């Protein structure tokens, strides 16, 4: 797919962040996991500090560095701006720690794009529970064999990992698009840019 080795895709959350590690050249999942943060009543700065340590350990254990890519799910519309700010802090921890270890952090993946390009959802926005169920079906359709080999059978119990997997799926397609166009990764990960998606659109899976 490109000269990059691995892609780490992340679904950031202050409660529990899911992650998935892909081989860029093969497009296969190598590892998955969750990073849970400490809970209240610990103050937020302490929770973030401990989360930073946990993220750093995962990056080190996966031996990620130069030649690897890290992509987080972008923020979506949230009714609670305070929660959105907290999640953005978590997202920033992943990205800054990744950059500090030499990873390429080209941008973010819009969750709406994941629904459209990977899950094949069209028309009106579905209820959250319907979207989550469709995400599980899509992940099973795409990666059932690999996930079984990783011991991940009941995907419904691992929604954070499922979301990270689908973010990674779209990110892999964007990396391939950049390679085919001989363009920098940043050019296809700009969430504010209008892009010609016909060059990297995924074939939607029938998961209804």
SS3 per-residue string spanning the chain: CCCCCEEEEEECCCCEEEEEEEECCCCEEEEEEEEECCCCCCCHHHHHHHHHHHHHHHHHHCCCCCCCEEEEECCCCCCCHHHHHHHHHHHHHHHHHHHHCCCECCCEECHHHHHHHHCCCCCCCCCHHHHHHHHHHHHHHHHHHHHHHCCCCCHHHCHHHHHHHHHHHHHHHHHHHHHHCCCCCHHHHCCCCCCCHHHCCCCCCCCC
Confidence of residue 126 (pLDDT cuts 50, 70, 90): confident
Question: In this structure, are residues 75 and 91 in contact, taking their beta carbons and an 8 Å threshold?
Answer: yes
Average pLDDT over residues 41-69: 97
Each residue of 157-184: pLDDT tens digit?
Answer: 999 999 999 999 999 999 999 999 999 9
Confidence of residue 82 (pLDDT cuts 50, 70, 90): confident
Alpha carbon distance 40, 205 (integer Å):
40
At residue 3, the pLDDT reads 87
Confidence of residue 125 (pLDDT cuts 50, 70, 90): confident
Share of the chain above pLDDT 90, in %: 79
Average pLDDT over residues 104-111: 96
Q: Where are the domains of the chain?
A: 6-191
Alpha carbon distance 68, 51 (integer Å):
21
> Which residues share a beta bridge with 15?
none
Q: Select the CATH number that applies to the domain covering 6-191 from these four: 3.40.640.10, 3.30.420.10, 2.60.120.40, 3.40.50.300.
A: 3.30.420.10
Average pLDDT over residues 119-146: 92
Alpha carbon distance 69, 75 (integer Å):
19
């Amino acid at each position: 797919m490109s000269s990059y080795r691995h892609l780490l895709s992340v679904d950031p959350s202050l409660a529990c962040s899911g992650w998935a590690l892909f081989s860029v050249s093969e497009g296969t999942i190598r590892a998955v996991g969750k990073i849970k943060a400490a809970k209240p009543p610990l103050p937020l700065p302490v929770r973030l500090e401990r989360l930073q340590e946990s993220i750093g350990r995962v990056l080190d254990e996966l031996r990620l560095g130069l030649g690897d890519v890290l992509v987080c799910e972008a923020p979506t519309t949230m009714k609670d701006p305070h929660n959105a700010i907290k999640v953005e802090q978590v997202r920033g921890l992943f990205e800054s720690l990744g950059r500090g270890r030499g990873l390429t952090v080209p941008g973010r993946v819009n969750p709406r794009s994941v629904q459209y390009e990977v899950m094949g959802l069209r028309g009106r926005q579905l209820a959250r529970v319907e979207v989550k169920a469709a995400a599980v079906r899509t992940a099973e359709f795409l990666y059932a064999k690999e996930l079984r080999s990783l011991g991940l059978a009941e995907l419904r119990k691992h929604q954070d990992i499922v979301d990270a997997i689908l973010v990674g799926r779209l990110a892999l397609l964007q990396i391939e698009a950049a390679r085919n166009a001989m363009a920098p990764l940043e050019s296809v990960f700009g969430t504010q840019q209008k892009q010609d998606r016909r060059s990297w659109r995924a074939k939607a899976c029938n998961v209804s």
